[in-house]
Amino acid sequence: MKAFAKLYEDLDSTTSTNEKVDALKKYFSVAKDADAMWAVLLLTGKISKRVLTSRNLRDLFLSATHYPEWLYDESYHHVGDTAETLSLLANSLNLCSEESTAKDKSLAKWLEKEIPDLSKIKDELTQSEKLMSWWKELTYQEIYILNKLMTGAFRVGVSEKLVIRALSEVFELPTDQIAHRLTGDIATGAETFRQLVSHEPNQLNFSQPYPFCLAHPWNERSERNFEPEDWCIEWKFDGIRAQVIRRENQLWIWSRGEEQITNTFPDVAQSLESLHPGTVLDGEILVFKGDKILPFQELQKRLGRKKVSPAMMNDLPAGFIAYDCLEYEGNDLRDKPLKERKEYLDKALEQISAKLIRASPTLTVDSLDELDRLRADSRNKDAEGLMIKLWSGSYTVGRKTGNWWKYKVDPLTLDAVLIYAQAGTGRRSNLYTDYTFALWNENNELTPFAKAYSGLDQKEIDELDQWIRRHTVEKFGPVRSVQAFHVFEIGFEGIGLSKRHKSGLAVRFPRILRWRKDKKPQDADSIKSAKELLSAAGQS
């Protein structure tokens, strides 16, 4: 645990990529296999082992210390994070040690025994006494990490790519090989780590997908290298990117977020059951109404359900548009050029008769002007832009510059009024960075429309934060209601009807595009104008 705490401190104290990799290499070079596997899963966000809620942890602290609840709440609202608030209070109340005096239990022991055992204690007093006994032997930094591990909220500023790079350099393995072994369901334990870094070929987990190939945004540099005959042009559909795995007479569907969604889309799984074993396809799951692709908001209604009813599958039938064939008859095709993989894709889909399973259509252009015209027509084709892929390119892990590009349409936009603000988390916990925006309704009242957390630079955030503090109308816990004064241009990818939102609308990927200091609140858009966008997109 001490070594893991030191790793966290090293990673959190630098923005240098090389220094982060060096810290990871130092840790993995000496960590025990079971601890190393837990570290990999925690650092890459592949596991979130919550055994206590933040509320549970807060209540245990209050029970053990009799600390004033109002004072704790004030402290929390200032800090913005339960784990950090409690570690700071432990330090200020001398509930922790200046230097760790505890016998150094392994990370695996904490996560597999100590923390689960604490959650099983039913008596709150006994449970809080146990927690305090841990704190007395730990530094406040170790308490912070322990709190994060207990609540399943551990995060640190390191990417999966850097973890893979560090493992690659320590164990002298190709990064692609480690990335593949880390895809899909990954178990804990020393044996899993030994397989992860083994130089011997491992028996493939038959349900395991491949790491997804990703695209860079299209830009002026890519335009300079554009020769139409070199590129495969396809519509970029707004669905769920997924890999379909057909192996050993079983079928799995994995999302790009490495969530197995086979049971969420049983209609898609059934339609693809006639694929030959040893086939892996990459594509997009979408929902349809006839031949029309429905907006992502409709697809969302299918998500997060343990069981999908026949009625829902009938109302929102799902299909799969296949982009690529990664495996055929058990052979890995990823190193072959896209042109050849497309031929295998056609072979694979010969076995499929379902109407909503199809290959992605390939488009033809003769110039950049024609490419731009196609992109401008994307929404009329139920798409959000174009994918531009090198015909001679392989299926790489992650983003490789010059291989795949995405050329999205400009976002839909509305001008909205800032009405609520809330402090951020982590390093932004002392700044108001989470905003709620409103549009005018038919009664000339501002109605909440969207929340946005990004789009302003640091100078604008600081300026707006100071204004919010001076112009707060009312407080609701951590949320401040502010004077209706500032107008912002909000961009989003899609808009749809919603019964859950007061405005009756929901938007996809809202973000701040511009602070419109040139506009007054009465110049902001209305819900009526938002619905006109909806009608123009054919989504009403």
Domains and CATH numbers, the chain: 2-151 (1.10.3260.10), 213-408 (3.30.470.30), 412-536 (2.40.50.140)
pLDDT at res. 183: 87
Q: For residues 431 and 433, what is the distance between their CA atoms, to the nearest angstrom?
A: 6
In the prediction, which pLDDT does 187 show? 86
What pLDDT, on a 0 to 100 scale, did the predictor assign at position 540?
A: 45
In a 3-state reduction of DSSP, which class is residue 224? helix
> Could you read off the pLDDT of 236-275 as tens digits, one per residue?
999 999 999 999 889 999 999 888 899 999 999 999 999 9
Q: What is the pLDDT along the chain (540 residues), one digit of tens a residue?
A: 889 999 999 998 888 999 999 999 999 999 999 999 999 999 998 877 788 899 999 999 999 999 999 999 888 877 778 899 999 999 999 998 877 655 678 999 999 999 999 999 999 899 999 999 999 989 989 999 999 999 988 888 888 999 999 999 999 999 988 988 888 878 899 999 999 999 887 655 678 899 999 999 998 767 777 899 999 999 999 999 999 999 988 999 999 988 889 999 999 999 999 999 999 999 999 999 988 999 888 898 888 777 889 999 999 999 999 999 999 999 999 999 999 999 999 999 998 999 999 999 999 999 999 999 999 999 889 999 999 999 999 999 888 888 999 999 888 899 999 999 998 876 667 789 999 999 999 989 999 999 998 899 999 999 999 999 999 999 887 899 999 999 999 999 888 888 888 888 888 889 999 999 989 999 999 999 998 887 765 554
| CB neighbour burial string for 19-51, b if at least 16 within 10 angstroms, e if fewer | ebbebbebbbeebebbbbbbbbbbbbeebebeb
The whole-angstrom separation of Cα 333 and Cα 123 is 57
pTM for the model: 0.74
In degrees, rounded to 5, the angle at the alpha carbon of residue 9 between the alpha carbons of residues 6 and 11 is: 110
| pLDDT for residue 398 | 84
HEC profile of 48-84: CCCCCCHHHHHHHHHHHHCCCHHHHHHHHHHHCCHHH
What tokens were used for 278? 């040893």
Predicted confidence at residue 297, as pLDDT, reads 82
Apex 245 CA angle, 239 and 250, nearest 5: 125
End-to-end Cα spacing for the chain: 55
CA 249 to each of CA 19, 50, 329, 346: distance values in angstroms, whole numbers, following the listed order: 46, 35, 12, 20
